[in-house]
Structure 1
Amino acid sequence: MEKGTSVHSVFWFWSQGAPLSGYFSISPGKRWASTTIFVFFFVISFVYWIDKSALTGNYFFRTFVNTLSPKKSSAQVEFPFKFNCSNTNLTCPTNHPVRIEKAESSPVACPEYMRWIHEDLRPWKSAGITRDMVERGRDYATFRLVIVKGKAYVEQIRGTFQTRDIFSIWGILQLLRLYPGKVPDLELMFVCGDETVVKKRDHQGLKATSAPPVFNYCEDDETLDIVFPDWSFWGWPEVDIKPWGTTLEALKEGNKKIKWKDRKPYAFWKGNPYVSQKRVELMKCNRSNKNDWNVRLYIQDWGKESKHGFKNSKLEDQCTHRYKIYIEGKTWSVSEKYILACNSMTLLLIPQYHDFFTRSLVPMQHYWPIKITNDTCRDLKLAVEWGNNHTDKAQEIGEAGSKFIQEKLKMDFVYDYMFHLLSEYSKLLKFEPTIPVGAHEVCSETMACQEGNKFWRIKNFMVESMVKSPRNTLPCTMPPTL
């Protein structure tokens, strides 16, 4: 082959159907031009292929890139996120990584509310947790969760309302995918109801160190329930509330639709008032022929909404008033995070119960506190009047509450809270967790393909909230104890 002859140019000439002898018969100048044209189009085509493959997740592209980077970090490991549910004998895959050996320490500090993990576990700090104590939690629990060697096993004890248990278990499975092999072996009881269950008054004196450790969505000053993130972080399909990551982004966009000072100068609340007497009393503050308490209250009929595709219940469309009201239901309400995220100044009717993150909220910084008394309507009216007369300060409070939710309640921190809580809990166990009779292994694949999950939103929300790859850093750094 002559000097300056390119393999690419020879291939191009041959691909046009001409004999190769003809290629060498043309002048060197023309050969150089043809080579340049071929290289130009080859580069353009290659760049287009890379761009298209990156967007579509082309398997060959990922393989090609991975061969260029043999020292692949754990963050580049990807789990499959399309399930084949045609196999009737569903089993958990054996080829998923159950441990990421190397993980760098995280430079990120945990939000302050994680300090409360130590406080929630304090009743068992001195004596630890025995198997007998865990077993006594069975009287309250919806399910028992066991984690052994990075795999999860569930014993269903009793049913619960809607799909709370399903999405709570789903969230724990995503934690195991995010930190494979990092969550220690443990055994716990989990309750998925509204009520708190372990009363302090039943565990005083000699019984003070024998309280059963039970995980729940909320607690109050009179109970010992261990607070855990609620099911709605992974979706609430019955009312079409999408997983928190998606919902939070939608709320951010919803905040942009109407500037704070252009919003309606009233306090807004929409929900089911019939779940508690507190809410029934709140409805008396609605505008009437006799009074206008600067409050606009609306009854949410979930049955009717379901028939109309939930068109009038989108959370991101409810950021339309300068003020929003939070009030508990039977106990705490999942609505709190959605209300605080709206940039409106939250008028928080001082709650009895709290979930895992609200203990770091500061009155007059993140919300305006309202006592529940016979004068609640008047107090709401005065708060709205104050805000309308001090719009800059009211807007500042509203945005501070929203910023707290957007920055401190990202899913990364929700998972890290779960990780730290379960890790600290496991240190207190005085027995070796074992798989109980009647428990079955659960994983993302089996849950998404369960026969009972034919309701399309369940599977869709699971896929939408699924952890796609493990993290290559350790969880955030825990703040010191209180």
Structure 2
Amino acid sequence: MHSQFIEAITWPFKRRSSTIVLFYSTLLVGAFIGTRYMNVPSIGATRLIRKALPGSKNVPTKNLLKRIGVHLQCDKQGNSTTQTCPNHYPTKLNPIKKTARKCPDYFKWIHDDLGPWKAKGITREMVESAKRLAFFRIVVVDGKLYWEKYRDAYQTRDVFTIWGILQLLRLYPGKLPDLDLMFEAGDIAVVYKSNYTGHEWNAPPLFHYCKDDHTLDIPFPDWSFWGWPEINIKGWEELKKDLEEGNKRIPWMERLPFAFWKGNAFMGDRIKLIECNSTDQWNAHIATQDWEEESKKGFKSSNLVDQCVHRYKIYIEGIAWSVSEKYILACDSMSLLVTPRWYEFFTRSLIPMKHFWPINPDPNKLCKSIKFAVSWGNNHKQKAQKIAKAGSKFIQEQLMMDNVYDYMFHLLNEYSKLLKYKPSLDLGANETCSEKMACFEEALQKQFRVDSMVKGPSEKDPCILQPPQEPQVIKAFLDKQDNVRRRVDGWVMKGSSGRDL
């Protein structure tokens, strides 16, 4: 590991004599070890390197930060309550690369989700009216994050969500404006349109993980992007790499020729899926998952990478949306999406019969719809594999963590423009930072957070957010999706071969 570190950091000086390189490499390793094991701030190591290396003033600090990383600075004698937030981290983003990259298509829904408040803005009273529904409140002032907890979230949803926003602040220091927002961390969206018909602008703005056509909650990336330690699921950046490698184990044509689903079947609409558990009758294998038993066995049979061995994988909602959707779509299998009621921030730009095969959620048609999809795929292997690859490519390329952070940035930035007051600190809010949330956690919790930690400021600005689309354009897009679903339903009911695809 040390040899790799020396190789990465000494590359600008390789043309110097080997003696000089050896001397300064030793100095650099000492700085690294101090950072890694003695809690010496690595930004301090950067200053040391720049001072020591001949001509290093011409080497951009950004390059050095990228190679060294800005690590956690944990108090040696501290604990979770006395740990302080260090002040060595950069407070301003100085990108060395200018970007002309447009944001992915699903970013367009930011404008739609914030639409109810665009005309009249958001007052402090409106934000505070959401307190009765929220799990916690987040205030960002001068680049520092403060939060106040109102009630317990399930497992560690709340702290990993806050951890994600802290990483956004590390990625784009000084870029995010002051904020004041309420967050709901349950399953089901709670701000119903019907309660504000005709005056949606007065609804409480509430961030959440999902919404549907009947609610006004503001979708935000869920906690699992930074890890779900309770069920041993890595943060998305690491897991996505594993899934990409796992997809290479078995070529699509050699995979098991039926549909697969595994999870907690005894929640929401999933109970009806159990009736489809027959590879002979319905071309489907439905496996129930007891997470309590699985945890006792060390999660040996729940590795997501090991489940990418089927040509077809089923996604079905539980109580509301499920974080499993991205894992299923990333598997290089043709995803059979039981038409969802709920959607998260990226799923509204998924196109049926391009990225996935739509499955009718009607309990009387569900099994038949799954059977037809598998039969069609096995009779049209190249077309089915094309859909599988398109869905997986969407997740692998459009849902990179860079894009997740950029989505968070633009959503929060656009939201801040609507605030009609200057956010300020409340007495109940406490400052937090990466150190306070990771230094003294138990081993697995700490590992998941450190693995998902942003190591240094970005080298470039966020992607460019496109302007809002006209309502008729969005309507045409959604109507086209509905038409495709109805056409597929027609094939299933008639027993058609689906040749008109």
- TM-score, normalization by structure 1: 0.86
Give the direction of change, closer, same or farther, for the CA distance of 1:50–1:479 in structure 2 (3 Å limit).
Answer: farther
Which of 198, 206, 209 aligns to 1:214? It is 206
8 Å Cα contact 2:314-2:335 kept in structure 1: yes
Give the direction of change, closer, same or farther, for the CA distance of 1:398–1:102 in structure 2 (3 Å limit).
Answer: closer
Q: Does 1:333 align with 2:318?
A: no
Which of 116, 127, 133 aligns to 2:120? It is 127
Q: Which runs of 5+ in 2 are unaligned?
A: 1-15, 34-44, 470-501
Query: In structure 1, what is the Cα distance between the partners aligned to 2:263 and 2:237?
Result: 22
Which of 412, 423, 429 aligns to 2:402? It is 412
What per-residue deviation string (whole Å, max 9, x for no partner) do you get for residues 67-103 of structure 1?
5243525454342236346313212112222223566
Query: In structure 1, what is the Cα distance between the partners aligned to 2:397 and 2:328?
Result: 15
What per-residue deviation string (whole Å, max 9, x for no partner) do you get for residues 190-216 of structure 1?
0111010100000113x4321000000
What per-residue deviation string (whole Å, max 9, x for no partner) do you get for residues 143-182 of structure 1?
1000000000001111110000010000000000000010
Give the direction of change, closer, same or farther, for the CA distance of 1:260–1:125 in structure 2 (3 Å limit).
Answer: same
Q: How do 1:219-368 residues align onto structure 2 when only pairs under 5 Å count?
A: 219-276=211-268, 278-287=269-278, 292-368=281-357
* Two-structure CA RMSD over aligned residues (Å): 2.2
Q: Does 1:70 align with 2:58?
A: yes
Which of 102, 114, 121 aligns to 2:107? It is 114
Q: Does 1:174 align with 2:164?
A: no
- What displacement does 1:287 show? 1.2
Query: In structure 1, what is the Cα distance between the partners aligned to 2:337 and 2:99?
Result: 34
8 Å Cα contact 2:139-2:424 kept in structure 1: yes
Q: Which moved more, 1:47-56 or 1:171-180?
A: 47-56
* DSSP 3-state at the match of 1:145: strand
> Which residue matches 1:399?
389
Letter in 1 for 2:452: S
Query: In structure 1, what is the Cα distance between the partners aligned to 2:420 and 2:243?
Result: 44
Q: Does 1:86 align with 2:80?
A: no
Letter in 1 for 2:195: D
- Higher relative contact order, structure no. (Cα contacts within 8 Å, ≥ 6 residues apart): 1
Query: In structure 2, what is the Cα distance between the partners aligned to 1:296 and 1:85?
Result: 52
Query: In structure 1, what is the Cα distance between the partners aligned to 2:316 and 2:144?
Result: 38
Query: In structure 1, what is the Cα distance between the partners aligned to 2:240 and 2:25?
Result: 29
Query: In structure 2, what is the Cα distance between the partners aligned to 1:136 and 1:371?
Result: 38
What per-residue deviation string (whole Å, max 9, x for no partner) do you get for residues 199-241 of structure 1?
0000113x43210000000000000000100000000000000
8 Å Cα contact 1:263-1:320 kept in structure 2: yes
- What displacement does 1:110 show? 0.8
* DSSP 3-state at the match of 1:481: coil
What per-residue deviation string (whole Å, max 9, x for no partner) do you get for residues 101-155 of structure 1?
5665322221000010000000000000000000011011111000000000001
* DSSP 3-state at the match of 2:266: helix
Q: Does 1:438 align with 2:428?
A: yes
Which of 83, 98, 110 aligns to 2:91? It is 98
What per-residue deviation string (whole Å, max 9, x for no partner) do you get for residues 330-378 of structure 1?
1000000000000000000000000000111111000000111111101
Query: In structure 2, what is the Cα distance between the partners aligned to 1:271 and 1:236?
Result: 15
Q: Which moved more, 1:70-79 or 1:364-373?
A: 70-79
8 Å Cα contact 1:74-1:100 kept in structure 2: no
8 Å Cα contact 1:217-1:228 kept in structure 2: yes
Query: In structure 1, what is the Cα distance between the partners aligned to 2:374 and 2:87?
Result: 58
Query: In structure 2, what is the Cα distance between the partners aligned to 1:372 and 1:395?
Result: 23
Give the ranges of 4+ consecutive aligned residues of structure 1 lying more than 4 Å apart after TM superposition: 42-67, 101-104
> Which residue matches 1:372?
361
* DSSP 3-state at the match of 1:274: coil
Query: In structure 2, what is the Cα distance between the partners aligned to 1:365 and 1:446?
Result: 44
% identical equivalent positions: 52
Letter in 1 for 2:105: E
Query: In structure 2, what is the Cα distance between the partners aligned to 1:375 and 1:74?
Result: 57
8 Å Cα contact 1:267-1:323 kept in structure 2: yes
> Which residue matches 1:151?
144
8 Å Cα contact 1:147-1:185 kept in structure 2: yes
Query: In structure 1, what is the Cα distance between the partners aligned to 2:453 and 2:433?
Result: 11
> Which residue matches 1:16?
none
Query: In structure 2, what is the Cα distance between the partners aligned to 1:218 and 1:236?
Result: 18
What per-residue deviation string (whole Å, max 9, x for no partner) do you get for residues 374-410 of structure 1?
1110111111010001111101100110000000000
- What displacement does 1:62 show? 4.7
Which of 434, 438, 463 aligns to 2:450? It is 463
8 Å Cα contact 1:260-1:322 kept in structure 2: yes
- What displacement does 1:304 show? 1.3
Letter in 2 for 1:94: N
Report the structure number with the largest CA radius of gyration: 1
Give the direction of change, closer, same or farther, for the CA distance of 1:66–1:149 in structure 2 (3 Å limit).
Answer: farther
- What displacement does 1:49 show? 7.2
Give the direction of change, closer, same or farther, for the CA distance of 1:66–1:224 in structure 2 (3 Å limit).
Answer: farther
What per-residue deviation string (whole Å, max 9, x for no partner) do you get for residues 32-70 of structure 1?
xxxxxxxxxx95566677889889956599545595243
8 Å Cα contact 2:316-2:338 kept in structure 1: yes
* DSSP 3-state at the match of 1:154: strand
> Which residue matches 1:390?
380
> Which residue matches 2:459?
472
* DSSP 3-state at the match of 2:140: strand
Query: In structure 1, what is the Cα distance between the partners aligned to 2:400 and 2:228?
Result: 17
- TM-score, normalization by structure 2: 0.83
Aligned residues: 434
Give the direction of change, closer, same or farther, for the CA distance of 1:135–1:379 in structure 2 (3 Å limit).
Answer: same
- What displacement does 1:470 show? 0.3
